[in-house]
Chains A and B, each alone.
Chain A
C-alpha cells in the first residue's frame, strides 16, 4: 500500500477498513438508543383515526381490548397496547379486556400493571396536563382472561359477557365487579380494539364485527400487515396499525414515546449510516475511474 497511486483520497474512500464501519455502527446504534431526541414519523390516516376516535370519547366510556399475542410478537405489539392503555386511562375511559391466545393473559397482565404504575405520575401529553391517578382493577378495567375456542367465546360475549366468563381472570364473579354494573354485551362498548399476532383476528372480523356490528380497530404484526389491510377498504375495520411502523405512529400520536419509537430511531440511523457508506464507496469508485481516465489520456 506504499504505492503512490493507491493512497489518493478516492482510493481510500473505496477501501475503508471494515472495523471503522463496525465501530460507527455500534456508536450510532447505542447513541440512537440512549439519547432522547425525536425523529419525524409519517402518520398514516388509518392509525390517526384510532387515536382520534379514542380521544373524543366521553369519559366513562368502555373500550374493549382483545389481546391475542404471545412473547414472539411482543416487540411489535406491546408498544401499541401500552400507548393505547395509557391514553384510555388518562382520558378516564374504562377498559374491558380478553386474551384469547393461550399465552395472552401474561401479556395483558404485564401491560395493565405497567400502565397503572405509569399513571401514578403527573404527565403532559400533546400539551394537555394529566394529574396522577390510581388505576383500580374492577373499577377502571376488568380483565376476563383466556378461554379456548375464540369463535364461540366471541359469539357468546355478544349475548352476555357472563356466558363465557362467569368470573374475571382473578376469580371475582362479574356481578360483584363495579365496572360490570349494567354491562351486558358489546352494545355497551364504544369500540373493540384487537391487537393480535394470530389468526384470531379473523374471528373478530367475521364472528364479532360481522354479527354484532361494533366499531373494530386492528393492531397486527408486520408480517400480517398485507393480509388484513383489505378489511380497511371494505369498511369492516375503521382503524389499522401494522408492525413496528404502526406502533411508532401510535406512540407519536399519543405523544408517549416508547419502545417502538426507540426501535425506529435506531433503525433509521443505522440505515442512514449504511447508505452513507455505500455513497462514500461509490463516490470514491467513480472519481477514481474518472481520474484514471484523465491520466490515461
Chain B
C-alpha cells in the first residue's frame, strides 16, 4: 500500500510538472477550466471481518461525474484521521469506476500506514479530477473501529472436513487395532518393490533410493521416509547395498535416522554407516548430474524414485533405463507423472504414493487409515452427484456450503 502511494504521488508530481511545461499548447486551459465534480455519496466504513484487525473497508456510491455526467473524475483519494477535527491524512487512492476501498493497515506501529485497533477513526473520500487541485470531498464518516478476530467464520467448511475426516480416521484405526480383517487391492508398483530387493540381492548390485527435490516440509517427502524405512529394513535383512543421495540437508538428516533405525530393527546395526545416505547439493541439475553419474557407474539393480520431482524426472528415468535398472517411481507432482509412466517400469500415481507406506508395512493400523481415505472418496462422489443436481436446478444454497473464504 505504501509503495502504491509513493508511486502514485510520483505520477501526480509528473502530472503537475507537465503542467508547467505545456502552457503553449493550451493544456493548462483544459486543466484549469475543469468544473469541480459532484462528490461521492453514501460513504460507509466497517471493520473487515475474519482478519487480524488493523483493517477497515470503505464503500460508497460513485460520483455522478464518474464515467458519466461531466465525466471528469479520474480517481478517488481516501483520507483518514483519528478525530473529525484534526487534519486528515491521505491513505490511498483508487481509479475511477471503483466504489470500494480496503484500507489494510501495516502491523508495525512505526509505519505511517499503521491502523490502531479498538480506536475511533474517521474517513473521507475525495473525487479528484485530472487536475489534483480540482476535487470534491465527501462528508466525514465516523467514528468506526477495527477489531481482531479469534475465529474465522468463512473457514467453517474446512473445520467440518477436518472433524469428519479425523473422526473417520480414528474410527477405522480403532477398528483395525481390534483386529478386523481389512481388504486392500493389490498394487503392481508395491509388489514390484519386494521383487526388486530380491533381484538386487541375486545380482549383487545396489539399490538406489531417490527423494527427488522434495524438502522435509512436504508431505510427499514424509510419505517417502516411511517407504524408505520399509525398504531399508528389507535391504538390511538381505544384506544388499543401499545408496541414498540427497538434495536437501534436512532430508538427508532424517533419512540417515530412518535408515539407521531400520538397520537396527532388522538386527544389523553394524552394517549401517552414515555414508550410505549422503548429501550432494541443493541445485536441481547439479543433483541430477551427480545421480546420473552414480547410475552409470554403480549400475544399481533397482532405482526407486519416491517423492517430489520436477523437470529432472525424465533425465533420471531415461538414464536409469540406459543403465538397465528396474525402475519404480511414485510422485504427487501431476506434471511429471507422464514421464515416469513412460520411462519407468512401475509408477505409483498420486494417492498411491501415500498408500504405499501402508501397503509395504501391512500393519492393520495403517490399512485402517486407507479405509478412512476410501470413505472420504465415497463421500466426495456422493457430494459431487448431489452438487451437480443442485447446481443444475439452481440450488446455490447447497454449493455455497463449500465456499471457503480467505
Indicate if A touches B (C-beta under 8 A): yes
A-side interface residues, number (CB < 8 Å)? 23
Verify A162–B22 contact, CB threshold 8 A. yes
Write out the residue numbers on chain A whose beta carbons fall within 8 Å of the beta carbon of B25.
Answer: 160, 162, 175, 184
B-side interface residues, number (CB < 8 Å)? 22
A-B contact sample (8 more), CB < 8 A, given A149-B11, A163-B27: A147-B11, A159-B130, A160-B22, A165-B14, A166-B18, A166-B21, A167-B21, A175-B25
One digit per residue, 1 when the CB lies within 8 angstroms of any chain B CB and 0 when it does not, for chain A 142-185 equals 00000111011101100110111111000001110000000010
Closest to B15 in A: A163
Write out the residue numbers on chain B whose beta carbons fall within 8 Å of the beta carbon of A269.
Answer: none
Verify B7–A162 contact, CB threshold 8 A. no
Verify A207–B130 contact, CB threshold 8 A. no
Write out the residue numbers on chain B whose beta carbons fall within 8 Å of the beta carbon of A162.
Answer: 18, 21-22, 25, 27
Q: B154 at interface (Cβ–Cβ under 8 A)? A: no
CA distance A152 to B4 in the complex (A): 12
Q: A294 at interface (Cβ–Cβ under 8 A)? A: no
Q: B161 at interface (Cβ–Cβ under 8 A)? A: no
Q: B95 at interface (Cβ–Cβ under 8 A)? A: yes
Q: Nearest Cβ distance between residue A153 and chain B, in whole angstroms?
A: 7
Write out the residue numbers on chain A whose beta carbons fall within 8 Å of the beta carbon of B130.
Answer: 156, 159, 163
> CB within 8 Å of A: which of B10-32?
10-11, 14-15, 17-18, 21-22, 24-25, 27, 30
Partner-A contacts on B (CB < 8 A)? 4, 7-8, 10-11, 14-15, 17-18, 21-22, 24-25, 27, 30, 67, 74-75, 95-96, 130, 322
Write out the residue numbers on chain A whose beta carbons fall within 8 Å of the beta carbon of B18.
Answer: 162-166
Q: A18 at interface (Cβ–Cβ under 8 A)? A: yes
Verify B322–A166 contact, CB threshold 8 A. no
Query: Given A155-B95, A159-B30, A159-B130, A164–B21 Cβ distance below 8 Å?
Result: no
Verify A148–B22 contact, CB threshold 8 A. no
Write out the residue numbers on chain A whose beta carbons fall within 8 Å of the beta carbon of B27.
Answer: 160, 162-163
Query: Given A160-B27, A175-B21, A155–B74 Cβ distance below 8 Å?
Result: yes
CA distance A18 to B4 in the complex (A): 55
Write out the residue numbers on chain A whose beta carbons fall within 8 Å of the beta carbon of B322.
Answer: 18
Q: Nearest Cβ distance between residue A113 and chain B, in whole angstroms?
A: 26
DSSP class of B's interface residues: helix, strand, loop or mixed?
A: helix
Q: Nearest Cβ distance between residue A151 and chain B, in whole angstroms?
A: 5
Verify A147–B22 contact, CB threshold 8 A. no
Verify A147–B14 contact, CB threshold 8 A. yes
CA distance A164 to B8 in the complex (A): 12
Verify A153–B21 contact, CB threshold 8 A. no
Closest to B75 in A: A152
Write out the residue numbers on chain B whose beta carbons fall within 8 Å of the beta carbon of A148.
Answer: 7, 10-11
> CB within 8 Å of B: which of A62-113?
none
Can you list 11 residue pairs at the A/B interface with Cβ under 8 Å?
A: A147-B11, A149-B4, A155-B74, A155-B96, A159-B30, A163-B27, A164-B14, A164-B15, A164-B18, A166-B22, A167-B21
Query: Given A152-B75, A155-B74, A159-B30, A173–B21 Cβ distance below 8 Å?
Result: yes
Q: Nearest Cβ distance between residue A150 and chain B, in whole angstroms?
A: 10
Verify A151–B30 contact, CB threshold 8 A. no
Closest to A211 in B: B67
Query: Given A159-B30, A163-B130, A164-B14, A152–B95 Cβ distance below 8 Å?
Result: yes
One digit per residue, 1 when the CB lies within 8 angstroms of any chain B CB and 0 when it does not, for chain A 183-200 equals 010000000000000000
Write out the residue numbers on chain A whose beta carbons fall within 8 Å of the beta carbon of B67.
Answer: 211
CA distance A175 to B25 in the complex (A): 8
Verify A149–B22 contact, CB threshold 8 A. no
CA distance A211 to B130 in the complex (A): 15
Closest to A154 in B: B95
Write out the residue numbers on chain B whose beta carbons fall within 8 Å of the beta carbon of A164.
Answer: 11, 14-15, 18
Verify A160–B30 contact, CB threshold 8 A. yes
Write out the residue numbers on chain B whose beta carbons fall within 8 Å of the beta carbon of A151.
Answer: 95
